[in-house]
């Protein structure tokens, strides 16, 4: 079964400097029917104005992943990490026992567009941590590239949860397939473009819960399509 979460049904928050779309309940947006899927708790699509950003604030017991689509995101945290995240980079911050951080648009002239993803950790109280890796467009072209996993295999970032996180960049007509093992579910998020998922079409901003399906077939129906896939315990 594939259940689509349409882009236009998402929660919204617009503060002028920040335009955000919430796939699941977040902040002032609450929908009891949309509080996450499996261990996936948050997918926010954020656009931050030049020179603006999130002032220092705290998190605890959450795996927080940033996936930049356009622009550059500057990160600083209380464990001494400072970095700039650009398209192709995947950043994981483990909040664990507690971490404080800030995120700002690194540019004074161009907006930054990114996905903020929260995943529940397999246990609370771990030591806070940070990891960032780059995955080129060529690595994701025409295939599902593993970018995050529990064991960090194939050069992926390490996520403290039993989840495999993939990204694919597809040109129009290109297709990939993915097999879900028994007892596993998947969430698909279209970052840009549009794709045919089995017999349904998803466009940019759409998400889909995949349950009780053994095979997922993805085919791009627009040039420059990009899709994320999260394989999780049901």
HSE on the CB side for 117, CA within 13 Å? 26
By percentage, how much of the chain surpasses pLDDT 90? 91
Strands 11-14 and 112-119: unpaired
Q: What is the pLDDT of residue 87?
A: 95
Q: What is the mean pLDDT of residues 163-180?
A: 97
Reply yes or no on whether the pLDDT at 127 is more than 90. yes
CA distances (Å), 119 to each of 41, 126, 161, 177, 218, in order? 5, 14, 8, 24, 24
Residue 26 carries which DSSP code? B
Task: Provide the pLDDT for residue 75.
Answer: 86
Q: What pLDDT was estimated at residue 140?
A: 97
Domains of the chain: 10-135 (2.60.120.10), 138-233 (2.60.120.10)
Q: Say yes or no to pLDDT of 48 above 90.
A: yes
What's the confidence (pLDDT) of residue 221? Answer: 97
Whole-number percent of the chain with pLDDT over 70: 100
Strand partners, 231: 164, 186
pLDDT of 128 strictly over 90:
yes
pLDDT interval class at 210 (50, 70, 90): very high
- What is residue 161's predicted lDDT score, i.e. its pLDDT? 98
User: What would the pLDDT profile of 66-111 be if each residue is shown by its tens digit?
Assistant: 999 999 999 888 888 888 999 999 999 999 999 998 898 999 999 9
Mean pLDDT value across the chain: 96
Q: How far apart are CA 189 and CA 133, in angstroms?
A: 20
* Residue 115: closest CA among 14, 45, 191, 27: 45
**pLDDT mean over 183-192:** 98
Average pLDDT of span 134-149: 96
**pLDDT(149) > 90:** yes
How far does CA 61 lie from the centroid of its chain?
17
**Element counts in the chain: helices (H) and strands (E):** 1, 22
């Amino acid at each position: 079964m594939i259940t689509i979460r349409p882009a236009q049904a998402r929660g919204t928050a617009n503060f002028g400097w920040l335009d955000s779309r919430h796939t699941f309940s977040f902040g002032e947006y609450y929908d009891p029917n949309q509080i996450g899927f499996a261990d996936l708790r948050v997918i926010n699509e954020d656009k931050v104005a030049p020179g603006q950003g999130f002032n220092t604030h705290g998190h605890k017991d959450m795996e927080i992943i940033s996936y930049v689509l356009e622009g550059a995101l500057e990160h600083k945290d209380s464990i001494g990490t400072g970095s700039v995240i650009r398209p192709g980079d995947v950043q994981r911050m483990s909040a664990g026992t507690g971490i404080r951080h800030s995120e700002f648009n690194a540019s004074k002239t161009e907006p930054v567009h990114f996905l903020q993803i929260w995943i529940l950790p397999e246990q609370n109280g771990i030591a806070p941590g940070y990891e960032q890796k780059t995955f080129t467009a060529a690595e994701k072209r025409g295939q599902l590239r593993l970018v995050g996993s529990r064991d960090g295999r194939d050069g992926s970032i390490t996520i403290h949860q039993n989840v495999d996180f993939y990204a694919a960049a597809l040109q129009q007509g290109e297709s990939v397939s993915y097999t879900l093992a028994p007892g596993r579910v998947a969430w698909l998020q279209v970052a840009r473009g549009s794709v045919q998922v089995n017999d349904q079409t998803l466009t940019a901003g759409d998400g889909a819960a995949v349950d009780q399906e053994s095979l997922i077939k993805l085919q791009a129906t627009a040039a420059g399509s990009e899709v994320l896939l999260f394989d999780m315990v049901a």
